[in-house]
Amino acid sequence: MIRNQNFVDGKWAASRSGKRFETVNPATEEVIADVPRGDASDIDAAVRAADAAMKGEWSKLAPAERGRLIFKLARAIEAHSEELARLETADNGKPLRDALGDMEGVVSTLEFNAGAADKLQGDTIALPKQYVDFTWLEPLGVTGHIIPWNFPLGMATRSIAPALTAGCTVVLKPAEQTPLTALRFAELAQEVGLPDGVLNVVTGFGPESGAALVEHPLVRGITFTGSVETGKLIMRAAAATIKPVVLELGGKNALIVFPDADLNKALDDVMEGIFHNCGQVCSAISRLVLHRDIHDEFVECLRARVSKLTVGPGMSNPDIGPLVSEEQYTRVHNYLALGKENGARVVLGGGRPKEFEKGYFVEPTIFDRVSPDARIAQEEIFGPVVAAMTFETEDEAVAIANGVPYGLSSGVHTQNITRALRLARRLQTGSVWINEWYIGGVQAPTGGYKESGFGRERGLAGIMNYVQVKNVGIRI
Ligand code: ADP
Ligand code: MG
């Protein structure tokens, strides 16, 4: 059951203004639920609850006990994964199979962080003998989490789990397009015994509830995943109260394929890398940088594979579901028009599939002969659209890959290990993947260079976002 209210201090509450907003099933454009339209007063109540919880029962738990609670939450998510996946598919549009995959990721994320709760240790510092000097890792305090809609519960737990592990308390503002699984998650957290106020969820719009969370003086850190534009606003607003921010802001990621690559494996990666989640992934392969000698063969094989993809409502488990919202639909279709105007060759797709009257569907699309500086090769489209281009020399491939304002991830397919590592050194991205895309998962840190943001999430690095290092010096 889902209550469709805000979750503040362990209680379900309407927004103080009484206002609500609707969330839509992107496959049918039908309203599936309405939720509170939270504003600054709701955020204030949530933050105060989280601040009080920082001083209550939660702060007295041993780290291992905190870890145990997070493990229990992992078991609860696992037990409800089918239900959560259905909710995610209804709200976000993604194929049910993928939503189930997301829930496995949520469970792993909770487990990884739960296991780390009693392994966070400070250092002893080598000062002269008349001193003892050491560090404590203290929780940062109340943390604000502003989450996008592409992996609603996945992105939420990616930052909530390490925050809880570190002993912080949380105010979560899910994306307005996909608020439902966060509310169910909160309910399950309460059922496993997370103390009141430790996790609070306020639904609402970015400029209202999101901005209020960033501005609130009792919030001691913000984690944000979303657009560069909003990231800049958040960073600027956080300056007023000197809040640290962790920003993951998308990408325009290149896969470079050399002639000695295992081309079938590279093709598998492209299929997963740009068409999974309807291309709505920050680390998607949105640029395909192909060596001239294999370009024609590669693009033809890709065309053959992509032409077999099925598009449809997420509940019927197609390869590709709809885009999340009307706004995204318009945005992606505008880029399709732009690609054609810029003279790129449309190998496949480029429009709306004919068979649907309703729903935010888009055809999987391959653009070829794209100029590296064309807008469709420079800007994040966030849809199932790949832009192919060619190179001759290694230097040229690196220049193309690095020649965008983003720096989230990149990949290289080659059997030449020396070349692979040389490129890994030169590529300006937070992740470099050799001979397989999306290597990593919960243990490996992820984050951006350049305008893709800063700070690292996942892994042990992800927990460090939520600790404060206190140094204690003693003269003996
Ligand atoms: P998109 O435009 O693709 O929806 P955004 O980066 O705007 O991506 O949104 C990601 C998250 O940021 C959402 O939860 C949204 O509500 C929130 N958000 C949007 N604008 C602001 C803002 N000015 N301050 C804080 N949060 C915001
Ligand atoms: Mg926006």
**Closest to 274 (Cα-Cα) out of 298, 300, 293, 254:** 254
Active-site pick, 176, 248, 363, 380 = 248
**Ligand 1 pocket check: which of 230, 282, 334 to mutate, most ligand atoms within 8 Å of Cβ?**
230
Q: What is each CA distance from 199 to 13, 53, 138, 173, 364, in whole angstroms?
A: 14, 9, 18, 11, 39
pLDDT digits 0-9 by tens, 201-212:
999 999 999 999
pLDDT tens string, the chain, 476 residues long: the values are: 467 999 999 999 999 999 999 999 999 999 999 999 999 999 999 999 999 999 999 999 999 999 999 999 999 999 999 999 999 999 999 999 999 999 999 999 999 999 999 999 999 999 999 999 999 999 999 999 999 999 999 999 999 999 999 999 999 999 999 999 999 999 999 999 999 999 999 999 999 999 999 999 999 999 999 999 999 999 999 999 999 999 999 999 999 999 999 999 999 999 999 999 999 999 999 999 999 999 999 999 999 999 999 999 999 999 999 999 999 999 999 999 999 998 999 999 999 999 999 999 999 999 999 999 999 999 999 999 999 999 999 999 999 999 999 999 999 999 999 999 999 999 999 999 999 999 999 999 999 999 999 999 999 999 999 999 999 999 99
Of all protein residues, whose CA lies closest to atom 18 belonging to ligand 1?
Answer: 206
**Closest to 55 (Cα-Cα) out of 202, 287, 218, 270:** 218
Q: What is each CA distance from 380 to 13, 145, 164, 328, 421, in whole angstroms?
A: 37, 23, 32, 12, 27
Q: How far is CA 376 from the centre of its chain?
A: 22
**SS3 assignment, position 469:** strand
Distance 230 CA to ligand 1 centre (A): 6
Residues 6+ apart with CB under 8 A from 237: 211, 214, 215
Q: What is the pLDDT of residue 2?
A: 61
Residue 237, number of CB atoms within 10 A of its CB: 18
Judged by its nearest atom, the ligand closest to the C-alpha of residue 144 is: 1
The question of whether 248 is a catalytic residue gets the answer yes
CB-based pocket (< 6 A), ligand 1:
146-148, 173, 175-176, 205-207, 210-211, 214, 226-227, 230, 233-234
Q: What is the pLDDT of residue 420?
A: 98
Does residue 133 contact residue 124 with C-beta atoms inside 8 Å?
Answer: yes
- What would the two tokens of residue 387 be? 């832009």
pLDDT digits 0-9 by tens, 30-45:
999 999 999 999 999 9
Judged by its nearest atom, the ligand closest to the C-alpha of residue 453 is: 1
Of all protein residues, whose CA lies closest to atom 27 belonging to ligand 1?
Answer: 206
Active-site pick, 208, 282, 380, 451 = 282
Closest atom of ligand 1 to 227 CA is 6
Does residue 173 contact residue 210 with C-beta atoms inside 8 Å?
Answer: yes
Distance CA 85, CA 102 (A): 8
**Ligand 1 pocket check: which of 39, 42, 146 to mutate, most ligand atoms within 8 Å of Cβ?**
146
Distance 369 CA to ligand 1 centre (A): 33
Q: What is the pLDDT of residue 139?
A: 98
**SS3 assignment, position 388:** strand
Q: Give me the count of residues in the chain.
A: 476
Q: What domains appear along the chain, each with residue ranges and CATH number?
A: 6-249+453-475 (3.40.605.10), 253-441 (3.40.309.10)
Closest atom of ligand 1 to 226 CA is 6
Does residue 157 contact residue 106 with C-beta atoms inside 8 Å?
Answer: yes
Residues 6+ apart with CB under 8 A from 282: 150, 225, 248, 249, 250, 251, 408, 452
